[in-house]
Structure 1
Amino acid sequence: MAQTNVETNASAGRVLTITRIFSAPPALVFDAFSDPKRMLQWLGPRDYPASYVESDMRVGGTWRACLDSQASGEKLWHGGVYREIVPGKRLAFTFAWDQADGRPGLETLVKINFEDQNGKTLMTFQQSEFDTPEDCDGHREGWNSAFDRLEELLAQD
């Protein structure tokens, strides 16, 4: 008799995990996450591309970005603090959207591993923990769209 796995813990549906294989070495993929000029070329979904990125790339340093709606002009500011930086291997940082009053909203933790796969990169991206499964799903759509853009950028290198 087959068993069905059912998530029963408190974080069910509120942890986002995305894996991608990029046709570029880990150092190049890591650079795309650490260089603000490169981030401007891919960060954000297609309909909300980044218009601003700044980064103090050191443990304890901050990052900040703005995504602009192509349709309405809405600006979505967000930022966080770097928690771990291992060039070409790992990156971890907090992530929070700005609220209407300018203060940060719910803080999540993003952890990214970059693993060499014969000259390509296996990226494992995890963001947690969201308030609701719907928030998690929204980020899944947004990050996947951004990673599609990243894949296109890496293909140009």
Structure 2
Amino acid sequence: MTDHETANEPEFEPSEYDMTIRRTFDAPRERVFEAWTDPEQVAQWWGPKGFTVPRCEMDVRPGGSFSIDMEGPDGTIYPDEGVFHEVDEPERLVVTSRAFEDDDGEFQLEVRQTVTFADRDGRTELTLKAEVLTATPEVAEALGGMELGWSQSLDKLEAYVDRSAGGTK
């Protein structure tokens, strides 16, 4: 037990927030992969419902970085930055993202995301695995909303790839 914990407080365990989401898109995997790796396209769908992306910069290559600012409905900017570890077009991306910088410049949250894009007869089965590497108790509320946030982002991605392909869903 640490100094700031009492006997009645449960210990904060970031790995309890690890998750996997699978989604099938009615679009070829090259199209879905491109929507994940082109900053102009990412800005069209990234973030939960009601959020926008005023800034998105990406250097998509192993060791390359990304920086995405999400703007909430109330105007709050949520910066997210990270590094690409693996880029296997059009099959797989592995990135680590960091968010919630504290007053000392330390990130309170670090998550490793592995995204795979499987061809399913012209459709794409996307699997997103998020592994929480580090997190402070201060970001527990954000972690609690991570799965919903990703689900809403993937809803927006689905609508985006449908629109950009001329779909009428």
TM-score band by shorter chain is 0.7 to 0.9
Deviation, structure 1 residue 51 = 1.6
Q: Supply the RMSD in Å over aligned alpha carbons.
A: 1.9
Indicate the structure whose relative CO is greater, using CA pairs within 8 Å and at least 6 residues apart: 1
Deviation, structure 1 residue 16 = 1.2
**1:142 paired residue number:** 149
Please give the alpha-carbon distance, in whole angstroms, between the structure 2 residues aligned to 1:146 and 1:121: 16
Q: Compute the TM-score of the two structures, normalised by the length of structure 1.
A: 0.86
Deviation, structure 1 residue 107 = 1.4
**2:89 paired residue number:** 87
**1:104 paired residue number:** 107
* Percent of aligned positions that are identical: 29
State the secondary structure of the residue aligned to 1:107. strand
**2:160 paired residue number:** 153
- 2:15–2:132 CA contact under 8 A, matched in 1: no
Give the structure with higher Rg (CA).
Answer: 2
- 1:15–1:136 CA contact under 8 A, matched in 2: no
Amino acid at match of 1:32: A
Please give the alpha-carbon distance, in whole angstroms, between the structure 2 residues aligned to 1:98 and 1:136: 11
> Does 2:68 match 1:61?
no
**2:23 paired residue number:** 20
Deviation, structure 1 residue 48 = 1.8
CA distances 1:57-93 after superposition (whole Å, capped 9, x unpaired): 11001000011112x2100001100000000100000
From 35, 38, 52, give the equivalent of 2:38.
35
CA distances 1:117-152 after superposition (whole Å, capped 9, x unpaired): 010000000111264775543111111111101100
Amino acid at match of 1:108: V
The 1:24/1:128 distance shift into structure 2, 3 A limit, reads: same
Question: Which 5+ residue runs of structure 1 have no aligned equivalent?
Answer: 1-9
